[in-house]
Amino acid sequence: MYRSHTCGELRATHTNTEVTLSGWVQGVRDKGFMVYVDLRDRYGITQLYFDEEQTAKDILEKSQKLGREFVIQVKGKVQERASKNPNIPTGEIEVLVSELVILNGSKTPPFTIEDKTDGGDDLRMKYRYLDIRRNPVKESLIFRHKVAQAVRNYLSNEGFIEVETPYLIKSTPEGARDFVVPSRMNEGQFYALPQSPQTFKQLLMVGGMDKYFQIVKCFRDEDLRADRQPEFTQIDCEMAFVEQEDILNTFEGLTRHLLKEINGVEVDKFPRMLYDDAMRLYGNDKPDIRFGMEFGELNAVAQHKDFNVFNSAELVVGIAVPGGNTYTRKEIDKLIDWVKRPQVGALGMVYCRCNDDGTYKSSVDKFYNQDDLAKWAEVTGAKAGDLICVLSGETNKVRAQLSALRMELAERLGLRKPDEFAPLWVMDFPLLEWDEDTERYHAMHHPFTSPKPGQLELLDAKPGEVKANAYDLVLNGNEIGGGSIRIHDKATQAIMLKHLGFSEEEARAQFGFLMDAFEYGAPPHGGIAFGLDRLVAILGGQETIRDFIAFPKNNSGRDVMIDAPAPIDDEQLTELSLKLNLKS
């Protein structure tokens, strides 16, 4: 037995108890005639005490040779500490050591294993097994476990069955590139890793499983950001014999349960917003509604003057920044520089100060009088003491630019509070979106999404106006889940694939198995998938997902700890019938 208790377990009630502890050396304080060692495991820290009057000489000398992160086992008696530490649960006691075994030594770690470390991101990712010993990462992984267990408990109690689906599947177009796996036994053929279990969960509905869920790995070969990983985890769910309202109610229930169980927060309202309204009022389809700063479209009150920048724009749009009139000219200039960064892409920004005396001062006073600027304030909802920020240009671009500015300003103003939670359903997305590069329509969600009832006929005449029977669940400005009512009959699926540019032969080759299944009594069905990594991060009060993943990859998709991806040798290539054609 390596331990009788953990390092976070002992209290004053254990005084005079003989115990055995094992763990890592957090630190050593050598006073010469006495030595203090902080021993750490997953559960906490216990102080060990070695004393020349009470400890055997060889054990005291051995304790003086301990280094940080040595793995040791000790036996001893629990005693009251002379100098108590109220900052840790074990701070009233220590263990007077009578036996010490060094189970494993340790090199000096490349960074300090402390809550606040001196290791940078790259270094900590290279030695992730050491980083996990730090409380912030350890607690994040434990937090993820609690969320996953709460999800499983809720869905199981609601009658959902957890079913595993394959990882080696067929490549299907779902919006991103597939990771492919060569098959040794089928020369020249490849599996793909699933971007989601989409078709399999639909087949489970055909199979009569009725309510399915799975906490599952998914894979997408796409350009990465701080909040994306090439492999990520979904809470994947599907239900049969349901309409949209059934799904929204079920997963509002799950979200309420998680917020109450994990965060102790009661949330009653799940407002609903049309996609078109989200784009018009916030410039994106996942708005953060914890704060205001809704867009005000200014074309009617800002064009037809002598200011050609606005006159030539497709959209002139602004937001009111609460209390923004306190910004200095230098601070406003920095904002203008911020929106002109390549990541945002605006050509400039017009501003208007709303003075306390009811007057206005604008950067374009030459073109607009006080009455004009008062209309700007009315449209944007600006009050005395606010600052109006205005951008103009092509509609979709300028909305995205102002959305980025809105979020940046909210961050600076402290309006995005991590302990506040504001869920939102965004509804009625376009079914299709036009791709300029391929000059054809693509499915905004995936090819199996059903159009809104009664809109199938529009596909031929006005495909861009067809709305999807789809919904996203947004939490604090992040999409945490998305889903739809699915197509469940072969004829409708064939029409959809035709409008996505598939010939009958291509549709048969890609999705014949699904369309065949639809001919054997497929029930109406729909579902949703939550991004577990992002959901856990938001519930944990953070925006990025990396620390909630045990072994994440960097922004280039590399695992710097194990140095993957990596070349394979010629013998393996030959066995897989592969030949490299690398660009020099």
Binding site residues for ATP, as ranges? 220-222, 229, 479, 531-534
Cα 91 to the chain's mean position, in Å?
Answer: 37
Q: HEC states along 20-86?
A: EEEEEEEEEEECCCEEEEEEEECCEEEEEEEECCCCCHHHHHHHCCCCCCCEEEEEEEEEECCCCCC
Output the known binding site for L-aspartate.
174, 220, 445, 486
284 closest CA partner among 202, 398, 164 = 398
Q: Pull the structure tokens for residue 45.
A: 């820290």
Find out whether 133 and 105 touch, Cβ atoms under 8 Å: no
> What is the C-alpha separation between 576 and 237, in angstroms, rounded?
36
| Residue 264: both structure tokens together | 């102790």
Structure tokens at 450: 């059903």
How distant, in Å, are the alpha carbons of 160, 202, 206, 571 from that of 523?
17, 10, 6, 49
DSSP states of 119-133 as a string? --HHHHHHTHHHHTT
The two beta strands, 93-104 and 44-51, are: parallel
Which residues contact residue 285 at a Cβ distance below 8 angstroms, ignoring those fewer than 6 apart?
275, 278, 279, 426, 429, 472, 479
Q: What is the distance of C-alpha 519 from the center of its chain? A: 38
Which residues define the annotated binding site? 174, 220-222, 229, 445, 479, 486, 531-534
> What is the rounded CA–CA span in Å between residue 248 and residue 273?
13
Which H/E stretch holds residue 206? helix 198-206
Which residue from 509, 484, 485 is spatially nearest to 497, judged by alpha carbons?
509
Q: What DSSP letter does each residue of 494-530 carry, written as one string?
A: HHHHHHTT--HHHHHHHHHHHHHHTTTTPPPEEEEEE
Q: Which SS3 state, helix, strand or coil, does residue 161 take?
A: strand
b/e burial code for range 308-333 (CB count within 10 A of at least 16 → b): ebbeebebbbbbbbbebbebeeeebe
**Token pair of 571 as six digits:** 């013998």
DSSP assignment letter at 178: P
Amino acid identity for residue 508 in this structure: R
Strand pairing of 440-443 and 231-240? unpaired
Cα separation, 250 vs 270, whole angstroms: 12
The rounded distance, in Å, linking the Cα atoms of 434 and 438 is 9
Residue 571: CB partners within 8 Å, gap ≥ 6?
none
**Phi and psi angles of residue 413, each rounded to the nearest 5 degrees, phi first:** -90, 0
